[in-house]
Structure 1
Amino acid sequence: MECDNMTQIFAHRGASGIHPENTMKAFKEAYKAGCDGIELDVQRTKDGVLVVIHDETVNRTTNGKGMVGKLTYKEIRSLNAGYNKRKWFTHDKVPTLDEVFEWLKGNNLLCNVELKTDKVKYPGLEEDVLQKIAQYSLSDRMILSSFNLQTLMRLHELGTSIPKAAIYSKKGVNPSLLAQTTNASAIHANHRVMTPALMESCQRMNIQVRLYTLNQPAKLKEWMEAGLAGVITDYPDRAFKVRKELLRK
């Protein structure tokens, strides 16, 4: 594996294997682990605040209940977002996108923002996210991704130069065709549906492939050696260790 083609490591919802997902604690721990970037999910509250949370409801990751889009920011901020693998931590809040972007200004991490419009549409979310990125002057460190093909095409229509990634998780998808259809420069695929041959077909068309959620050291090593552009992992410390070992060879 050549150093020039080093696989980038993105922390999936932060270092979410150990810390509560999509919290500032998880993002800060990912930075400490030495990863290249973080991956996060963005949705919008009832009163228009962009918040970082994966599910369309607050039920799983907080001590509250309800749809993100039907709760106010004040209601969501009052919740404990410290849930992780059947354990509860204290004093973790659902962060705003502003809060994460303000923190990113103080480091050099890349940031993959997934727009969660595949189940709830959130009209205008694409414009809202682009405005926040411009506000914090972070365009050169961003990747925008979504399962929603219309969202990716809308981002293209808006003329942004920020790299876009199409996400998919089902077998039978032609990733290079998906990227072409959505004007995406990258594919983010569930690692179970990607093959070396499919990845190579993307690479021939200069389409970067990043895989999620890749956590096992043996699989991390296998894909890094195959020339994977990026790995999206719950355990960035594991991935960083594997990459360091490969670079020593």
Structure 2
Amino acid sequence: MSHVFAHRGSSGTYPENTMLAFKKAEKTGCYGLEFDVHMTKDREVVVIHDETVNRTTNGRGAIKDLTLDEIKKLYIKSGWLRKEKIPSLDEVLEWAKSNEMLINIELKNDKIFYEGLEELVVQKVANHQLQDRIIYSTFNHESVKILKKITSCEVAALYSRKGINPVLLAQSLNADAIHANFRVMTPQLMRDCQQHGIPVRLYTLNKPALIQKWLNEGLSGVITDYPELAQKLKDKKE
């Protein structure tokens, strides 16, 4: 069965990776939520996509060079009157206790390797007792190996380059699933994964025709900026 994951929340309509986007995603009835995490200078974990705050906030600087307090003083740049802030992972996990969504935490440690990020994130999830609702994913394949050693949660290998065999990638890393850019996946590669029992989730599926195509192929997860649209297409197909 295919499931819909809200990519950075309902980010096609609301400011990405904010509590507003996450709460709006929940209201769509979608199965899961996907978001990104980085580590701050004082070893806290915050939910943001980029390595810097430059694009999405009114501030400047790398996450690794800013403390949580400094980050919390910033506001998300958006057209909304409500001033959203960068949430901490603890904030999102605490809110997640109020619903039943599956949570895909992407560790953004492929461009900057945050020493100990894997252990810190896994511990925070354990502190909130949400282990049974977590999928970890990362482009850093060494990080996949670390996660597989320290958690029983599902761990997915992310990739976005053509020419990679997803079955061999999953097998070489002992990954539980594959998360791939839809542009590098083919129906045959997906069938190969399915034959080996490897779930495939594709990002970022936003156009109705693309969503419908991959739903018809039986992919495990639609990762989309528009969860309401994807959920309606999924419900119609079923």
- TM-score tier by shorter-chain length is over 0.9
Residue aligning to 2:148: 156
Residue aligning to 1:124: 116
Q: Check whether the contact 1:82–1:89 (CA below 8 A) recurs between aligned residues.
A: no
Determine if the alignment matches structure 1 residue 94 to structure 2 residue 89.
no
Q: Helix, strand or coil for the counterpart of 1:192? A: helix
Measured against aligned partners, the alpha-carbon deviations of 1:29-68 in whole angstroms (never above 9, x if no partner) come to 0000111010010111111111000000000011111000
- In the TM superposition, what is the alpha-carbon distance from 1:185 to its structure 2 partner? 1.0
Measured against aligned partners, the alpha-carbon deviations of 1:205-227 in whole angstroms (never above 9, x if no partner) come to 11000000000111111110110
- 1:39-58 equivalence runs, <5 A: 39-58=34-53
- In the TM superposition, what is the alpha-carbon distance from 1:88 to its structure 2 partner? 5.7
Residue aligning to 2:205: 214
Q: Helix, strand or coil for the counterpart of 2:156? A: strand
Residue aligning to 2:131: 139
- C-alpha separation in 1, matches of 2:196 and 2:132: 22
The alpha-carbon distance between structure 1 residues 89 and 198, as it changes in their structure 2 partners (threshold 3 A), is: farther
* Corresponding letter in the other structure for 1:143: I
- 1:168-207 equivalence runs, <5 A: 168-207=159-198
Measured against aligned partners, the alpha-carbon deviations of 1:219-246 in whole angstroms (never above 9, x if no partner) come to 1111101101001000001101101110
Q: Check whether the contact 1:80–1:90 (CA below 8 A) recurs between aligned residues.
A: no
Determine if the alignment matches structure 1 residue 70 to structure 2 residue 65.
yes
- C-alpha separation in 2, matches of 1:15 and 1:193: 24
Q: Helix, strand or coil for the counterpart of 2:38? A: strand
Residue aligning to 1:30: 25
Identity of aligned residues (%): 56
Residue aligning to 1:60: 55
- In the TM superposition, what is the alpha-carbon distance from 1:21 to its structure 2 partner? 0.4
Query: Where do 4+ consecutive residues of structure 1 move more than 4 Å?
Result: none
What RMSD in Å do the two structures reach over aligned CA positions?
A: 0.9
* Corresponding letter in the other structure for 1:62: T
| Structure 2 residue ranges without an equivalent (≥5) | none
> TM-score, with normalisation over the residues of structure 2?
0.98
Residue aligning to 2:216: 225
- C-alpha separation in 1, matches of 2:135 and 2:160: 19
- In the TM superposition, what is the alpha-carbon distance from 1:157 to its structure 2 partner? 2.4
Determine if the alignment matches structure 1 residue 105 to structure 2 residue 97.
yes
Q: Helix, strand or coil for the counterpart of 2:98? A: coil
Q: Check whether the contact 1:220–1:239 (CA below 8 A) recurs between aligned residues.
A: yes
